[in-house]
Structure formats: C-alpha cells, structure tokens
Amino acid sequence: MLRHTTVVAAASLALAGTMLSFAPNPAHAEPTIAVKDVVLTVGAKASQRNLTWLGGVGVDDYVQLVQHKKGKTVSWKGAAVIRPFSAATAGEETGWEYNKVALTKLATRSTYSYRICTAAGCTAEYQFKTTSSGDFSFLVYGDPQVYLGTKTGQNGVVENPSEGWAATLAESTGKVANAAFLMTAGDNVDSYTIAKQPGEWDAFLAPSQVASYPMAPAVGNHDNASNAGYLFNQHFALPNVSNLGTTAAGTGDYWYTYNGTLFMTLNTNSLDFAAHKTFMKQAIKANPKATWRVVSLHHSPFSSADHPNDADVTAIRTTLSPVFSALRINLVIGGHDHDYTRSFLMNGATVASSDADSSLKPHRGQVLYLATNSASGGKFYDLTGPYPWAAVKDQSLKANYTTIEVQSKKLVATTYEVGGRVIDRVSITRAH
Ligand SMILES: [Fe+2]
C-alpha cells in the first residue's frame, strides 16, 4: 500500500513539472517503482549536482542521465548510468532506503533528463538545467518549517506551511527561472521530535522544483531535533561535509563553489566556534581565489524579533561575527527569527557604518547580514527592539523569499513578499 501511494507521488511530481515546462517524455511509461523524496542538491562546483532519494530496502537503484542535444528527442538508450556512492536503510519508516548519487562533469547552459531505475523499471522523467559560467542568481528561503495541516499563529495568521512552501517555490522559480540553486537558512521541517519528522520531510520535498533545482540547505534547530536529527543527512547529499560543526550524525559544516564564489554553510546548532573557524579557514585555503565569500547559517546573529537576546544567538553574535570579519566574509545569510532584517555593515558585532542606503561599498572586514523571514508563512514573530544593528526591518506577515544576483563586482539581494511587493533591495561592491 505504501509503495502504491509513492508511485502516485512520483507521477504527480512529473505532472507538476509539466506546468513548469519540465515536460516528461510522453513516450515514457508511468513509473513502476517506488521512490520518494527525490531532491537535487548542490555539488562541489557548478559542473556537479548531487541527488538523493528514498527507495526500496536492498534494491539496486541507479540513475540514468541524458544531456539534451539540439533537435534530438531524449533517448534513454546509451544514457549514462550512475550508481549511489552511499545507500543505507533510512532511519524513519520501515521499508525505505536512502540513496545518494553524484552527477559530475555537467556542461554549462544545458538541459539534462534523469530518472531512477531498478531491475523492475524506472520512474517518470525529471529534468534540470545548468547555467552559464560567470554571473548567476540564486534564491534564498528562511525557515520553511514545514508541518502537516494548519495552525493559528500568535498574530492571528492561519498558517499552512506545506501549501505556503509550495506556493513560494512556484512564484520564486517563476521569477528566477534560471536560478543556480535554492538555499534554505534551516528549519526545513518543524518537529523537534525526530519520530514526527518523516511526513514533514515528505511534504518539504513534495514540490516538483526540488527535483529540478539543486538545494543548499542549512540545519535549523528544529531539523536538528536536539542533536538527533539525522534525517537531514539522509535527505541531502551535500559536498565537502566536514566533521567540524557536527551535531546530529552527518550534519557538519559544508562548502561548495559556484562560478568562483565560495559558499560555506555552518551548522550553528554547534556552538563550537573554534571548529567553525577552522572549517572556514580550510574552505578558504582550498579556494584562495574565490571572488566572494558567502556564509549561510540558521541562527541569524543580527535580527529584530524573538531571538536576538537568546543565549545561543548572543554567543554567535559576540564570538562568530568577529571571525566573519577577520576572514573577510562578504555576506552572511541566516534565518531562525522569522522576520526580515538587513544589518548595517558590521565589523564584528560593531556597527561599522550607519549607512542604510541600498548601494553599499564595504571596506575590508565589513560584513552585511541578512536575516530572512519565513518562506512558507509557517510562523511570524513580531518585531522587537530597537537594535543598533538593524538598517532595515520588516514583518509583513506574508511569506518572503530573496534573490541574490552574483556579479564579479557586485552582489545584489532583493527580498520579496509572496504576491509581489519588494521588501528590500541592497547591493554591496567588493571590499576596497
Ligand atoms: Fe524557525
């Protein structure tokens, strides 16, 4: 019965893809095997992607991958066959195994089709596109915190985060159809108790976009489930995962590059700041010529609502933000506080410039921080303060998302309310 349900889920994924013009090959038969939670993630660099899915226990699943050629229909004959580099019984519902695959040597500006196969057959077709080299854009989502059903929040807003998350993904990828990847700032799912998370992970990974755009997720305190949240690792094949910063199994800090920019994602459930610093120094040493250094993490050090005075956030602000300045990080993207805050340019925890302009020219060691609001409408915290670091703050009680355009000399971050209003737009030039 379980199997049957998931086969339908795979088919509806492909159907949803049709609306986004990722059309399945009509000649291809309906899927005959059980898979779920199919999700692309960033690879170590722009020519790579990773793929994770849950399939049958002990089943020999593999991926077929085909690059589209101009004027030719997709043929699975002669498709590249890629086998998992990691597969093990999933630590949630019985009867599932997680599988992780690396897709490498991908060409720029290309469309690829893939499907997951076993001896019994193959799933429907999924598609993804690669970008050109050079300038690119990515999308950022704060705390989707997906759970099933609805609740009424503290401000009277009726929350439905699984529907809201799907709506935000649809609007944002419609706006930035060539987004290089989808970054989350953590709290992808809601339950602190791991036993309650499986259905939430299914709902978080249900929108078709997660099989067509690579994700770059952070680990939130909810995902972390009091250091037992190993389902995060089982759902995402991530590049360059370190032992440093690990809380739940496999959730350490990780890094990747995209067209010359270095991205470092920290698991701030770990307050081992020396470990985070060592990790960042290693990542920077491995990528000394990176154009920009961008950090993503869950616990925003500079926000304006419920959490700025929490002990963990205060420790991150006082101890980690000076490290970001010392390591010449350009931009730090966080979540956790379910409001939008753009900081002033900060030197450590100190305001370096009280310029709230939309076009900033940081000096060396000056860092811009963005705290992102909920991307699903799953929870909103009322603004508090004032706080000395807040240049722009907003609580729209509507789901938000942010686009970041990465150019060689400028980063531009634009934050939208779902439905269209621009909440904030800010650019930084490279430090001089
Ligand atoms: Fe959250």
Give 119-158 pLDDT, tens digit per residue: 999 999 999 999 999 999 999 999 999 999 999 988 888 9
* Distance in Å, CA 213 to ligand 1 centroid: 23
* Distance in Å, CA 224 to ligand 1 centroid: 11
* Distance in Å, CA 189 to ligand 1 centroid: 9
* Distance in Å, CA 382 to ligand 1 centroid: 14
The answer to whether the beta carbons of residues 148 and 200 sit under 8 Å apart is yes
The answer to whether the beta carbons of residues 171 and 165 sit under 8 Å apart is no
The answer to whether the beta carbons of residues 383 and 395 sit under 8 Å apart is yes
129, 153, 170 — which closes off a domain?
A: 129
* Distance in Å, CA 145 to ligand 1 centroid: 6
64, 99, 129 — which closes off a domain?
A: 129
* Distance in Å, CA 426 to ligand 1 centroid: 24
Tokens of 413: 């971050």
Q: What percentage of residues in the chain have a pLDDT greater than 70?
A: 92
* Distance in Å, CA 298 to ligand 1 centroid: 8
283-300 mean pLDDT: 98
* Distance in Å, CA 335 to ligand 1 centroid: 7
Note residues around ion ligand 1 (Cβ under 5 angstroms): 143, 145, 187
**Residues 404 and 376 reside in one and the same domain:** yes
State the residue range of the domain holding 93.
2-129
244-262 mean pLDDT: 98
Separation of alpha carbons 65 and 239, rounded Å: 20
- Residues forming beta bridges with residue 103, ordered by sequence position: 49
* Distance in Å, CA 223 to ligand 1 centroid: 9
Residues 45-73 pLDDT 10s: 999 999 999 999 999 999 999 999 999 99
Rounded CA Rg of the chain? 21
Domains: count for the chain: 2
- Tokens 């805050």 sit on residue: 341
**Ranges assigned E (strand) in 95-212:** 97-103, 111-118, 121-122, 126-129, 136-141, 151-152, 158-159, 182-184
Separation of alpha carbons 357 and 192, rounded Å: 39
* Distance in Å, CA 338 to ligand 1 centroid: 6
78, 105, 129 — which closes off a domain?
A: 129
* Distance in Å, CA 109 to ligand 1 centroid: 35
Separation of alpha carbons 19 and 431, rounded Å: 42
Nearest to 322 by CA among 293, 365, 292, 287: 365
* Distance in Å, CA 296 to ligand 1 centroid: 15
How much is the pLDDT for 6? 35
**Residues 96 and 209 reside in one and the same domain:** no
* Distance in Å, CA 430 to ligand 1 centroid: 31
**Residues 46 and 192 reside in one and the same domain:** no
**Residues 366 and 417 reside in one and the same domain:** yes
* Distance in Å, CA 222 to ligand 1 centroid: 7
Question: Residue 141: phi, psi to the nearest 5?
Answer: -130, 125
Average pLDDT, the chain: 92
* Distance in Å, CA 79 to ligand 1 centroid: 41
- Terminal Cα-to-Cα distance of the chain (whole angstroms): 61
**Residues 149 and 117 reside in one and the same domain:** no
How much is the pLDDT for 40? 98
How much is the pLDDT for 18? 30
**Residues 62 and 98 reside in one and the same domain:** yes
Question: Residue 87: phi, psi to the nearest 5?
Answer: -150, 135
* Distance in Å, CA 158 to ligand 1 centroid: 16
How much is the pLDDT for 32? 62
How much is the pLDDT for 109? 97
In a 3-state reduction of DSSP, which class is residue 152?
strand
Pairing of strands 331-335, 368-371: parallel
Residues 1-52 pLDDT 10s: 233 333 333 333 333 333 333 334 444 444 467 899 999 999 999 999 999 9
Residues in the chain: 432
Separation of alpha carbons 378 and 397, rounded Å: 10
**Residues 58 and 119 reside in one and the same domain:** yes
**Residues 122 and 192 reside in one and the same domain:** no
The sheet with strand 422-429 has its strands ordered as 86-89, 97-103, 49-55, 36-42, 215-216, 182-184, 136-141, 400-406, 410-417, 422-429, 359-360
- Secondary structure string (H, E, C) spanning 328-386: CCCEEEEECCCCEEEECEEECCEEEECCCCCEECCCCCCEEEEECCECCCCCCCCCCCC
204-215 mean pLDDT: 98
Is the predicted pLDDT of residue 215 greater than 60, yes or no? yes
**Residues 117 and 202 reside in one and the same domain:** no
Question: Residue 239: phi, psi to the nearest 5?
Answer: -90, 150
* Distance in Å, CA 220 to ligand 1 centroid: 7
* Distance in Å, CA 25 to ligand 1 centroid: 39
**Residues 403 and 270 reside in one and the same domain:** yes
Tokens of 387: 């706080």
**Ranges assigned E (strand) in 77-110:** 80-82, 86-89, 97-103
Tokens of 133: 């080299």
How much is the pLDDT for 22? 34
* Distance in Å, CA 331 to ligand 1 centroid: 20
Q: How confident is the model at residue 420 (pLDDT cuts 50, 70, 90)?
A: confident
**Residues 120 and 230 reside in one and the same domain:** no
- Residues forming beta bridges with residue 99, ordered by sequence position: 53, 87
210-224 mean pLDDT: 98
CATH of the domain at 209: 3.60.21.10
* Distance in Å, CA 336 to ligand 1 centroid: 4
* Distance in Å, CA 34 to ligand 1 centroid: 31
Q: Of 20-34, 62-76, 183-197, 208-222, which range is least confident?
A: 20-34
**Residues 32 and 162 reside in one and the same domain:** no
**Beta carbons within 8 Å of 139's beta carbon, 6+ residues apart:** 172, 173, 176, 179, 181, 182, 183, 213, 401, 402, 403, 404
CATH of the domain at 121: 2.60.40.380
* Distance in Å, CA 432 to ligand 1 centroid: 35
